[in-house]
A and B are shown apart, each in its own frame.
Chain A
């Protein structure tokens, strides 16, 4: 069994074939993805590792519906992402995707509870903001504004915001990049606990190779290509990590 095409018993969430992404810049064409083939299973946790500019974030952006591929195909079940309209992508993000960003991206004028409510108000079958915040351990800080929270707490609000709508997909772009080790571990713990409960397919982009140890599979990128995919024989809990 190849690591690129997992067992047929579990259906793939994503089917990615020969996906490329070329940016036209003043200095000429930049090939961010040079032909990526990958299948991602439902409920799987993937960590994408690689140096800056290797293409991992580009892939995450395309799969998250923030950007479109130049050629090739990226399919979420029957939904072809590279051919979708802006409106379809917006609907896709709203219905299926939870995002966690490096810089938290909380709305500073809303409290923790309201930041989560922002999403639950437009979602199809969300949990309550209180429940989501309780899951990330912030039940006591719900009425604080972002400016009144630490970096780790802000990122956990972002996790609660991402999972409150019970997404099928959770995309995390450098979720611990702005945090110290201890806060980073807390955030990863929150992510793994809530995704395990919800069964969401999770992709985490990181520079930090030790984060790869919490994944089912680790995908390494170099120069816009997949340089290797490795299955973790034993997934570690975030509490076992340090960096």
Chain B
């Protein structure tokens, strides 16, 4: 079938305007790809999560306690709404790992006697399960084995409850409890120092001295049962055994982090694509408007020949349709590979047996439909006016475009403005809607650049505040059990220690009316210098009597202010309940913190002056000796290092954000480029005759280029303040969207970020402009002058 003349017109228009069409299609592709990528990645994660949880029977609620006889498990199973119970021994200690300076924190967990009925099963990824008859075989968490470069068959010695025990690693395993393993201090992954080993119960019983007992419980809750009632029953039954407050899956660290990631993907899928599609629709509108303007006579002619309005309009609508579809297909392809890239990144953080990205067809289809509709809507607005003209009017040659003096014009009249500048200003005034749309598009691009660059600043601000101004220790150690304050003297004598400050840390539940939150209270020395809560102005907050200092985030969650009182349930040991007076709020950026003066905390606990950790200042050149000594000190159960924590932070956040930010910068650049290219290209099409005339009359190429580029330069300058404000708003929006309980990003934007963003913005705008402006050097003087516009 031969294509109709109108079909051929569409094809030729597309060919002639291919770069403009591609620049718009690029924006549509960006929008569609973000939606497709986010939904594909989200489905991959959510699917892997659901399958893994089902396969391993991940529990719904968890409880930790000091020690209870195994017979108590039957009481737990009898709780109304509980369908399955699993009790285990889970003991922490330190472990020397060859090749690491700082000992790893190890959790030794007992394997169930009957795996078929167990909850939170481990899934073997390599090697074999330990022989139930032996007490020296373990399977290790795969992420730890990989990061610490521990091979199967290797021996590891852990110090648990002061006793050394050596195990042979016979297998690598995955666990639903440890899909993501945050380090306790930073909440960032630190896989090499976060060891988890599973061994048959007799081996763990022996290592922990827990024969016939358990210290963790996990339960499944029947659908429809009240989780809150189950938690209360767990707490009630386990209280005599040193039970700490039971919690639901939503508070389980690994699950909580994974869930936050899934929410983030939804956020980026819903914030970004609309921006791209709106800018693309605006550009289609501008380009088709110009096309229709130059082809007014042709439209009139078609109508005079008897074509219907719809038929006369159809080439322009089809033009938009093709641009929209091209963008959608490109976006689908890009989305598929971006989705694969981001899932690849997730594989480093989230340990699932299978994490396969599958193309999200319905998200792609929906995003494409919206994109095409946006493009067609943009062109429809432009075509409607031309089609509404009667053929006779449409066929008349248009009079010279009617210009008049505008407001801007009157402002510059007195100031010795040359005629070229006047032409630029009047062009903007002649097409105010177009100028507004273009400026809005450029501003959106700059906003996206500024609003995303800030993420890096935010991370640096958090690191600075947390690890250098508020906490100033270089190493921190946790003791196996609370000890007398005199224990600190021993710690201060460890090699390389310059200063040591004792801490008492206890878990607690804060309740204010309907609000409650589980966290820990850090008891500090009265005049602590290595760790001190800071107020909003960065001043250290002094402790007042038995009062408590809450972080702003915790206070916000609980709905309390300085001067209020809050109900505190200590969930460590036989901790009492009490009403604490909130004396001040501290500003920090991660977790929910509460601070008390150590002796006040101990008074609250009804105990003597006990400590269960210390914060130390260690000479950098003595770190290795320090950690060797720590390994030989049985009462130390955990150690963390500021430098390593900060490095892990930087690495994890930089990696995570680098991908996101590369997307954003690329996309923002695409917007700026697309707008700049199209605005200048349209301007060239309107002006080529003027410019050729000026060139004939003796204006040099640069003078002509100035007139053509001036419009874009003015728009880019006018859009810049809008973009800066938009960037600040976007940063605040992203702060709200990306902040989690464990990490609250401050909306701080550094001068460097403004500089980088402006640089990228100008580069993209400049490229779009230059590609068009260079055509001034190729203007066909004779042809342009011989034809009427």
Interface residues of A (CB under 8 A from B): 57, 61, 64, 66-67, 86-87, 90-91, 93-95, 97, 99, 101-103, 105-110, 114-115, 117-119, 121-123, 145-148, 154, 161, 173, 178
Task: Please name all residues of chain B whose beta carbon is closer than 8 Å to the beta carbon of A148 when the two chains form the complex.
Answer: 402
Chain A, Cβ-Cβ closest to B699: A122
Contact (Cβ within 8 A) A117 B697: no
Find B400's partner among A101, A108, A122, A123 (CB 8 Å cutoff).
Answer: A108
Find B426's partner among A103, A109, A119, A122 (CB 8 Å cutoff).
Answer: A109
Chain B, Cβ-Cβ closest to A58: B782
Q: Which residues B413-442 have CB closer than 8 A to chain A?
A: 418-420, 422-423, 426-427, 430
Given contacts A61-B782, A109-B422, A121-B418, contact A94 B697 (CB under 8 A): yes
Contact (Cβ within 8 A) B423 A110: yes
A119 to B703, CA, bound (A): 12
Task: Please name all residues of chain B whose beta carbon is closer than 8 Å to the beta carbon of A154 when the two chains form the complex.
Answer: 400
A118 to B703, CA, bound (A): 11
Task: Please name all residues of chain A whose beta carbon is closer than 8 Å to the beta carbon of B430 when the two chains form the complex.
Answer: 109
Contact (Cβ within 8 A) A99 B697: yes
Distance in Å: Cβ of A122 to nearest Cβ of chain B: 6
Contact (Cβ within 8 A) A110 B422: yes
A86 to B419, CA, bound (A): 24
Find B696's partner among A93, A110, A147 (CB 8 Å cutoff).
Answer: A93
A99 to B696, CA, bound (A): 8
Contact (Cβ within 8 A) A122 B402: no
Given contacts A61-B782, A107-B690, A110-B419, contact A90 B700 (CB under 8 A): yes
Task: Please name all residues of chain A whose beta carbon is closer than 8 Å to the beta carbon of B3 when the two chains form the complex.
Answer: none
Find A90's partner among B402, B418, B423, B698 (CB 8 Å cutoff).
Answer: B698
Distance in Å: Cβ of A226 to nearest Cβ of chain B: 21
Contact (Cβ within 8 A) B402 A147: yes
Contact (Cβ within 8 A) A122 B698: yes
Task: Please name all residues of chain A whose beta carbon is closer than 8 Å to the beta carbon of B699 when the two chains form the complex.
Answer: 90, 94, 122
Task: Please name all residues of chain B whose beta carbon is closer than 8 Å to the beta carbon of A173 when the two chains form the complex.
Answer: 785
Q: How large is the interface on B (under 10, 10 to 19, 20 to 34, 35 or more residues)?
A: 20 to 34
| Chain B facing A: main interface SS | helix
Distance in Å: Cβ of B748 to nearest Cβ of chain A: 45
Whether B483 is near chain A, meaning CB under 8 Å from some CB there, is: no
Q: Which residues B395-409 have CB closer than 8 A to chain A?
A: 399-404
Contact (Cβ within 8 A) B403 A93: no
Question: A99-B696, A121-B418, A145-B402 known; 17 other A-B pairs, CB under 8 Å?
Answer: A57-B786, A66-B781, A67-B781, A87-B700, A91-B698, A97-B698, A99-B697, A101-B785, A103-B785, A103-B788, A107-B694, A108-B403, A109-B422, A109-B427, A118-B419, A145-B403, A154-B400
Considering the complex of A and B, which 7 residue pairs feature the smallest CB-CB distances, nearest first? A94-B698, A109-B426, A105-B693, A108-B400, A118-B419, A147-B402, A109-B403
Contact (Cβ within 8 A) B782 A66: yes
Contact (Cβ within 8 A) B423 A147: no
Whether B67 is near chain A, meaning CB under 8 Å from some CB there, is: no
Chain B, Cβ-Cβ closest to A119: B697
Contact (Cβ within 8 A) B401 A95: no
Task: Please name all residues of chain B whose beta carbon is closer than 8 Å to the beta carbon of A145 when the two chains form the complex.
Answer: 400, 402-404
A108 to B689, CA, bound (A): 11
Given contacts A90-B698, A109-B426, A119-B698, contact A147 B782 (CB under 8 A): no
Task: Please name all residues of chain A whose beta carbon is closer than 8 Å to the beta carbon of B700 when the two chains form the complex.
Answer: 87, 90
Task: Please name all residues of chain B whose beta carbon is closer than 8 Å to the beta carbon of A105 when the two chains form the complex.
Answer: 689-690, 693, 696, 785
**Most interface-central of A105, A108, A146, A154 (chain B CB within 10 A):** A108
A148 to B419, CA, bound (A): 19
Distance in Å: Cβ of A99 to nearest Cβ of chain B: 6
Interface residues of B (CB under 8 A from A): 399-404, 418-420, 422-423, 426-427, 430, 689-690, 693-701, 703, 781-782, 785-789
Once A and B bind, how many residue pairs between them come within 8 Å at the CB atom? 93
Given contacts A94-B697, A119-B698, contact A114 B422 (CB under 8 A): yes
Find A147's partner among B400, B695, B698 (CB 8 Å cutoff).
Answer: B400
Find A118's partner among B426, B427, B695, B697 (CB 8 Å cutoff).
Answer: B697
Distance in Å: Cβ of B776 to nearest Cβ of chain A: 12
Of the A-B pairs whose beta carbons lie under 8 Å apart in the complex, a sample of 17, sorted by A's number, is A61-B782, A67-B782, A93-B697, A94-B697, A103-B789, A105-B693, A107-B693, A108-B690, A109-B401, A109-B422, A110-B426, A114-B422, A119-B698, A122-B699, A145-B403, A147-B402, A178-B788
A55 to B583, CA, bound (A): 97
Contact (Cβ within 8 A) B403 A117: no
Contact (Cβ within 8 A) B698 A109: no
A146 to B422, CA, bound (A): 15
Task: Please name all residues of chain B whose beta carbon is closer than 8 Å to the beta carbon of A93 when the two chains form the complex.
Answer: 696-698
Chain B, Cβ-Cβ closest to A66: B781
Chain A, Cβ-Cβ closest to B418: A121
Task: Please name all residues of chain B whose beta carbon is closer than 8 Å to the beta carbon of A67 when the two chains form the complex.
Answer: 781-782
Contact (Cβ within 8 A) B419 A114: yes
Task: Please name all residues of chain A whose beta carbon is closer than 8 Å to the beta carbon of B697 when the two chains form the complex.
Answer: 93-94, 99, 118-119, 161
Task: Please name all residues of chain A whose beta carbon is closer than 8 Å to the beta carbon of B701 when the two chains form the complex.
Answer: 86, 90
Distance in Å: Cβ of B412 to nearest Cβ of chain A: 12
Distance in Å: Cβ of A161 to nearest Cβ of chain B: 8
Chain A, Cβ-Cβ closest to B399: A147
Chain B, Cβ-Cβ closest to A129: B419
Find B423's partner among A61, A109, A122 (CB 8 Å cutoff).
Answer: A109
A138 to B427, CA, bound (A): 25
Chain A, Cβ-Cβ closest to B405: A111
Task: Please name all residues of chain A whose beta carbon is closer than 8 Å to the beta carbon of B403 when the two chains form the complex.
Answer: 108-110, 145, 147
A66 to B231, CA, bound (A): 90
Chain A, Cβ-Cβ closest to B700: A90
Task: Please name all residues of chain B whose beta carbon is closer than 8 Å to the beta carbon of A57 when the two chains form the complex.
Answer: 786
Chain A, Cβ-Cβ closest to B398: A147
**Most interface-central of A107, A114, A123 (chain B CB within 10 A):** A107
A109 to B699, CA, bound (A): 17
Chain A, Cβ-Cβ closest to B693: A105
Task: Please name all residues of chain B whose beta carbon is closer than 8 Å to the beta carbon of A161 when the two chains form the complex.
Answer: 697
Chain B, Cβ-Cβ closest to A92: B698
A73 to B404, CA, bound (A): 46
Contact (Cβ within 8 A) A108 B401: yes
A61 to B696, CA, bound (A): 10
A201 to B21, CA, bound (A): 48
Chain A, Cβ-Cβ closest to B430: A109
Distance in Å: Cβ of B336 to nearest Cβ of chain A: 43
Distance in Å: Cβ of A164 to nearest Cβ of chain B: 11
Task: Please name all residues of chain B whose beta carbon is closer than 8 Å to the beta carbon of A101 when the two chains form the complex.
Answer: 693, 785
Task: Please name all residues of chain A whose beta carbon is closer than 8 Å to the beta carbon of B698 when the two chains form the complex.
Answer: 90-91, 93-95, 97, 119, 122-123
Task: Please name all residues of chain A whose beta carbon is closer than 8 Å to the beta carbon of B426 when the two chains form the complex.
Answer: 109-110
Chain B, Cβ-Cβ closest to A87: B700
Distance in Å: Cβ of B449 to nearest Cβ of chain A: 33
A140 to B404, CA, bound (A): 18
**Most interface-central of B423, B699, B785 (chain A CB within 10 A):** B785
Distance in Å: Cβ of A53 to nearest Cβ of chain B: 12
Task: Please name all residues of chain B whose beta carbon is closer than 8 Å to the beta carbon of A178 when the two chains form the complex.
Answer: 788
Given contacts A61-B782, A90-B695, A99-B697, contact A147 B422 (CB under 8 A): no
Chain B, Cβ-Cβ closest to A113: B419
Task: Please name all residues of chain B whose beta carbon is closer than 8 Å to the beta carbon of A122 when the two chains form the complex.
Answer: 698-699, 703
A114 to B787, CA, bound (A): 23
A61 to B692, CA, bound (A): 13
Distance in Å: Cβ of A123 to nearest Cβ of chain B: 8
Chain B, Cβ-Cβ closest to A93: B698
Task: Please name all residues of chain A whose beta carbon is closer than 8 Å to the beta carbon of B401 when the two chains form the complex.
Answer: 108-109, 147
Chain A, Cβ-Cβ closest to B428: A109
Chain B, Cβ-Cβ closest to A64: B696
Chain B, Cβ-Cβ closest to A173: B785
A114 to B695, CA, bound (A): 17
Task: Please name all residues of chain A whose beta carbon is closer than 8 Å to the beta carbon of B689 when the two chains form the complex.
Answer: 105
Chain A, Cβ-Cβ closest to B404: A145
A137 to B786, CA, bound (A): 27
Task: Please name all residues of chain B whose beta carbon is closer than 8 Å to the beta carbon of A146 when the two chains form the complex.
Answer: 400
Distance in Å: Cβ of B438 to nearest Cβ of chain A: 17
Distance in Å: Cβ of B417 to nearest Cβ of chain A: 10
Task: Please name all residues of chain B whose beta carbon is closer than 8 Å to the beta carbon of A114 when the two chains form the complex.
Answer: 419, 422
Task: Please name all residues of chain B whose beta carbon is closer than 8 Å to the beta carbon of A95 when the two chains form the complex.
Answer: 698
